[in-house]
């Protein structure tokens, strides 16, 4: 595992140009955003056109793990070395200013630029269990083991977190003193967060089957951490 600096390097790809005072270069902030998310958007250029797909994500040290079907052209291209961009966003609220021009959002986001590596067969099961633990903590112990066929049909990729940027405007102001706007118009923030609903048991589950701890653990994680 790479011994990465605790400060994110500024490169032509990672330097924030719009409102740069919101850029954060602490690597811990990058990990916090990724660890607090269940999904991100993975993008490549395919046949001259941009293509982006939502993917489940899980951090493993200084890498992000993603997985997909070995039959997917999208993931095969990434496995073959196509450069990727992964975006992870936590939308925290809507900022209602006294004009539409000044209205905005509060958010924390990370953008990762990388060339992925394929997790080798002998490490694939461990990587998938790691990813599962990030998405559904404890579920791996409640279900049957993965089969050889399932492992063979799954492509697991590592995205190194060596080139990434973080932008955080969670505490940005809605208004400024002496901006000349009419104070009789309401201004403020509408906070937003993800909330887990009640678990819904599938129709074919045996009646009386208890909701497992992994489901309750996932719900509690959202309740206390705002996972998105």
Kindly indicate the confidence band of residue 180, based on its pLDDT and cuts at 50, 70 and 90. confident
Contact 22, 16 (CB under 8 A): yes
Strands 188-191 and 39-46: unpaired
Supply the pLDDT for residue 1.
43
| Residue 98 reports pLDDT greater than 80 | yes
What are the pLDDT digits (tens) for 36-51? 999 999 999 999 999 9
Q: What mean pLDDT is predicted for residues 200-228? A: 86
Domain that holds residue 43: 20-198+205-223
| Residue 226 reports pLDDT greater than 70 | no
Residue 73 lies in a domain: yes
**Closest of 118, 87, 88, 92 to residue 104, by C-alpha:** 92
Residue 12 lies in a domain: no
Residue 77 lies in a domain: yes
Of the two residues 33 and 173, the one the predictor is more confident about is 33
| Residue 170 reports pLDDT greater than 70 | yes
Q: CA–CA separation, 97 vs 159, rounded Å?
A: 38
Kindly indicate the confidence band of residue 56, based on its pLDDT and cuts at 50, 70 and 90. very high
Supply the pLDDT for residue 225.
55
Residue 48 lies in a domain: yes
Supply the pLDDT for residue 220.
87
Residue 143 lies in a domain: yes
Q: CA–CA separation, 79 vs 143, rounded Å?
A: 29
Kindly indicate the confidence band of residue 215, based on its pLDDT and cuts at 50, 70 and 90. very high
> In the predicted model, what is the mean pLDDT of the chain?
93
Q: What mean pLDDT is predicted for residues 146-152? A: 97
Residue 6 lies in a domain: no
pTM here is 0.91
Residue 15 lies in a domain: no
Supply the pLDDT for residue 147.
97
Residue 3 lies in a domain: no
CATH code, domain carrying 150:
2.30.110.10
How many domains does the chain fold into? 1
């Amino acid at each position: 595992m790479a011994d990465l600096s605790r400060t994110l390097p500024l490169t032509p790809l990672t330097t924030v140009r719009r409102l740069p005072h919101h850029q954060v270069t602490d690597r811990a902030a990058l990990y916090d955003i990724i660890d607090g998310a269940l999904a991100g958007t993975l993008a490549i250029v395919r046949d001259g056109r941009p293509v982006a797909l939502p993917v489940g994500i899980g951090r493993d040290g200084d890498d992000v793990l993603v997985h997909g079907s070995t039959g997917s052209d999208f993931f095969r291209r990434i496995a073959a070395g196509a450069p990727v961009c992964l975006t992870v966003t936590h939308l925290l609220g809507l900022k209602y200013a006294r004009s539409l021009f000044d209205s905005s959002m509060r958010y924390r986001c990370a953008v990762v630029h990388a060339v992925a590596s394929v997790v080798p067969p002998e490490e694939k099961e461990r990587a998938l269990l790691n990813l599962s633990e990030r998405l559904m903590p404890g579920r791996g112990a409640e279900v049957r083991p993965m089969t050889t066929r399932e492992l063979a049909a799954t492509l697991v990729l590592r995205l190194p977190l060596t080139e990434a940027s973080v932008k955080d405007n969670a505490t940005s102001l809605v208004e400024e003193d002496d901006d000349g706007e009419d104070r009789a118009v309401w201004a403020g923030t509408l906070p937003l967060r993800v909330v887990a609903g009640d678990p819904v048991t599938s129709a074919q589950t045996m009646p009386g089957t208890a909701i497992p701890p992994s489901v309750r653990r996932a719900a509690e994680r959202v309740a206390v951490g705002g996972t998105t």
